[in-house]
Structure 1
């Protein structure tokens, strides 16, 4: 093994403070949070061409703003063209919705922003955010004012920061909830988000807090997650998971074996993110995630450093959480613990628009609800509906194509932004996935087995391709005529927290043949499956020829 560089891994705690790459130099030159003032005072008045390049492709992310892809640039140019050639003069904007919690007034504001400033665009992301496109820098101050008026913002929605804290959409109402994590989500947000203590991390930091028995926050693939457990004394608290993440080096988080009382949660979260800030690898951008530090240290050392250097006290041992109960998406009509019901529904691959958001707000208000939730599966939930009104609200939602009882294909297909707007993407995703859903519903109308289909436009796995039953990773492939076309590498049999999807040698599909492939492999699964066997279990024993 070659000797380790004298520069180490760029860890601050070990004395490596000199910037080791362009990103680190940019952050050292000026804190990303400082760009907010320049956006308001300079860039919104001078327009796109007045933006300093270091802010444009760096610090503006600290306020949820990325330049979007210029229309018409094919996937083969991704990674070849310079940023300024890929950049459109418009932005994607991400609104952070911690815990996925919205009021009717907040949803109406999000709808108004979509229609007024974003050409009607709005997507529900798999981290419970709302994402816009076509945002002009001139309009950003007005958008921020509108969001601030209803208690929302875009601060640290992107960038090397503590991003949105995801939480169970049923927090506080679920019948079988272990603990309501809402106070802890709010506590961490109020104490630490937007502070310069954590505005310069090695890379992004994804957090989750949940007491949900379904484990809907997918704690296994977050940088840090506090998961509801009950200790031997019957007290409800949290187990801590650290080091999960996907992209090109997928790893599941490891639990620290501790028990955290609710009032300690913010200190433990702070300790974990501080370790990342101080010991995280900054030298190489592709290793600048906590999962690589956890892989090198292991959970025992991580716990020791957390307790001795950051908390100043020892945490008691604690149990691992129980296995997830049922589906993780909260779609359908189910009882709350207060006697009311929640109604979860499925927009197609998370894509909505300003008009649809207004209609959702109208429907919720008409049925007496002021609590709506986004989910980590690109879905939405309306809380607090009386039993006798559940069918009526379901009918109204389904009348605008928001299915409360969706097909398996509608229910469990996710897609990232794709080449339509994303500068990293190689292929189209959202429209391709929506067309696939429609076609599979026609071809396989009786299929009723749980099946996750995740479609991603590049290797970064924003849509979690490695933990889907069928995961499609965008790339260019060669078709039957020898031409290079949009297509996908296929991952099969992934399960969150259990296994990453396997890649069968040479198994790819063109975008055009995507639906045919899914139909073929689903029919083979139905033909061969045994009673109670899941798709992932079948894949594990199937011959390679059966999944072609």
Structure 2
């Protein structure tokens, strides 16, 4: 079916897809040529990021940190999942005052790429072993379904790679201006209510395109999500491209295509193209979208180089037209929008699989685990009859294929590791970014601050029933790795002035954001209240206060987000 260009994907009238007047180069390859317009582009033009691996193995790992070329260290290392971590002892007030070199320690964060969040128990055990041997037992489950290790020395990186690759894992393009990890439904292929299994789509995208030199120089990072689960469990509204399971009335199960989502300091929710693609078509459509971004994305300014800005300027209709005519060579089929999400997308708890076995969703506290925990979890999963686990975009872990008779034993073993399938509401719904402990961009500490707040809220609100979830997202800087604009209570790290006039770590508060869920039909961004900031030490006090006020003054079954958007500012302080 040919799309009607006079309508938006929602059926509303659309402006014709006119090309905007240009005043100066945006660094678009297809329009302006490939002359680099900033230092990052110069570095990429001078040498492919993927080529740095040979130098790491042959030179830097042998000669040590001091031998690393600055453009490799601060640029190309990212193509292999490596960032220098923050030097200890530098407080948040100095984050914006010091150079990257002054902030950097001689140790690395190493990001293990885990597409679809899918791990065998053998792979999980190897990641845990690498953590204990090379990363001081550090491990964080991220909201991108990766595992991040810290304290890694460049001398140890080749050995880490060898051991990861021996079990089918890698760090290729885990960072950098590349196609990052592909988010996938944590219950792909096993959920009873699944619309379509996205596993083959994720596998083909990764197998064909990750590490492809033709796609390894993008304007900025490129994020992908694929799900066929009715809970829409991959935060598709904030990815560069997403494929969401739907049933076409004539063609059957497939995917609805979304483009242009992203948060950071300027949040954009993705737009529907109004196009239906089958599982067989999805990888080629993904390839077309990423090439549109490569050729037309804005490269002149790094802070405008994400796909969301191109989609915002072009609109969905023009983006679809360019994708179809210049990259796919055919029209896409019009298709239906996904129905509202059903059920929680974090998959916490014990659930029956379509084969009669169980999957068990476990919650750590704000994603912080350790190599020791990961190894023990692999042992516990195997004892319960499982050989597979999945990480989630909500910093959770799901054990698949559990023998029903061994569920209780798995739950008991998990509790000993600090993991639970029956978390408190705030433990379940709180996520946090890396924070000042390791991140050079951070201004405040996040993991321990959030964990302390969760413990306090569990104690203070123990007798209160929350019939709708309240999400709490804690971020150490404005860049929103913890998705602060899409949380009920989102906290953006900054220094705040205390009652004594002294600056202390704290947060600007965003209220009432959220992605589409079983409790919220439409996604939306949070609001800020003029002057509303809280100190890190006062975080639990504030959350308790605003939650109690919500429960006291809400309408019947009103969500926190709806209440926060209609309430006056005084009620939110």
User: TM-score, normalization: structure 2?
Assistant: 0.94
Deviations 1:178-228 (A, max 9, x none): 111001101010100001010000000000111011111010000000111
Which residue among 318, 328, 331 is the counterpart of 2:345? 328
Q: How does 1:99-248 map to 2 (within 5 A)?
A: 99-233=116-250, 235-248=252-265
RMSD over aligned Cα atoms: 1.1
Structure 2 counterpart of 1:485: 504
Displacement of 1:54: 0.2
Q: How does 1:42-53 map to 2 (within 5 A)?
A: 42-53=59-70
Asked if the contact 1:155/1:194 (under 8 Å) is kept, the reply is yes
Unaligned runs of 5+ in 2: 1-19, 517-522
Deviations 1:438-469 (A, max 9, x none): 11111111334211000000000000000000
Structure 1 counterpart of 2:552: 527
Separation of aligned partners in 1, 2:61 and 2:233: 39
Asked if the contact 1:68/1:87 (under 8 Å) is kept, the reply is yes
Displacement of 1:19: 0.6
Separation of aligned partners in 2, 1:521 and 1:327: 23
Asked if the contact 1:407/1:448 (under 8 Å) is kept, the reply is no
Structure 1 counterpart of 2:15: none
Structure 1 counterpart of 2:527: 502
Structure 1 counterpart of 2:10: none
Separation of aligned partners in 1, 2:417 and 2:98: 40
Separation of aligned partners in 1, 2:291 and 2:356: 42
Q: Does 1:462 align with 2:455?
A: no
- SS of 2:527's partner is coil
Structure 2 counterpart of 1:20: 37
Displacement of 1:485: 1.0
Deviations 1:48-76 (A, max 9, x none): 00000000000000000000000000101
Separation of aligned partners in 1, 2:81 and 2:212: 16
Separation of aligned partners in 2, 1:281 and 1:157: 22
Deviations 1:364-403 (A, max 9, x none): 0001100100000000000111333222321221122201
Asked if the contact 1:408/1:447 (under 8 Å) is kept, the reply is no
Identify if the C-alpha distance between structure 1 residues 448 and 162 changes in structure 2 by more than 3 Å, giving closer, same or farther. Answer: farther
Asked if the contact 1:238/1:260 (under 8 Å) is kept, the reply is yes
Separation of aligned partners in 1, 2:104 and 2:410: 42
Separation of aligned partners in 1, 2:404 and 2:165: 34
Deviations 1:22-60 (A, max 9, x none): 111110011100001100000000100000000000000
Deviations 1:250-294 (A, max 9, x none): 010001011101111111000000000000000111000000000
Q: How does 1:263-302 map to 2 (within 5 A)?
A: 263-302=280-319
Displacement of 1:79: 1.8
Separation of aligned partners in 2, 1:166 and 1:333: 22
Q: Does 1:60 align with 2:99?
A: no
Displacement of 1:531: 2.6
Separation of aligned partners in 2, 1:311 and 1:55: 35
Aligned pair count reads 546
Displacement of 1:234: 5.0
Separation of aligned partners in 2, 1:94 and 1:212: 27
Separation of aligned partners in 2, 1:179 and 1:99: 15
Asked if the contact 1:205/1:223 (under 8 Å) is kept, the reply is yes
Which residue among 537, 540, 545 is the counterpart of 2:565? 540
Displacement of 1:82: 1.1
Separation of aligned partners in 1, 2:199 and 2:40: 34
Displacement of 1:341: 1.1
- SS of 1:504's partner is strand
- SS of 2:350's partner is strand
Separation of aligned partners in 2, 1:244 and 1:94: 23
Q: Does 1:406 align with 2:423?
A: yes
Separation of aligned partners in 2, 1:81 and 1:261: 50
User: TM-score, normalization: structure 1?
Assistant: 0.98
Separation of aligned partners in 1, 2:294 and 2:48: 14
Which residue among 446, 463, 472 is the counterpart of 1:429? 446
Displacement of 1:17: 1.4
Separation of aligned partners in 2, 1:476 and 1:226: 39
Displacement of 1:4: 4.6
Separation of aligned partners in 2, 1:5 and 1:17: 18
Separation of aligned partners in 2, 1:128 and 1:454: 16
Q: Does 1:83 align with 2:100?
A: yes
Deviations 1:64-107 (A, max 9, x none): 00000000001011121111111100000000000000001101
Which residue among 95, 112, 120 is the counterpart of 1:95? 112
Asked if the contact 2:485/2:513 (under 8 Å) is kept, the reply is yes
Deviations 1:477-523 (A, max 9, x none): 10000001111000000011521000011100011111100011111
- SS of 1:365's partner is helix
Separation of aligned partners in 2, 1:191 and 1:351: 32
Separation of aligned partners in 2, 1:367 and 1:65: 35
Asked if the contact 1:188/1:266 (under 8 Å) is kept, the reply is yes
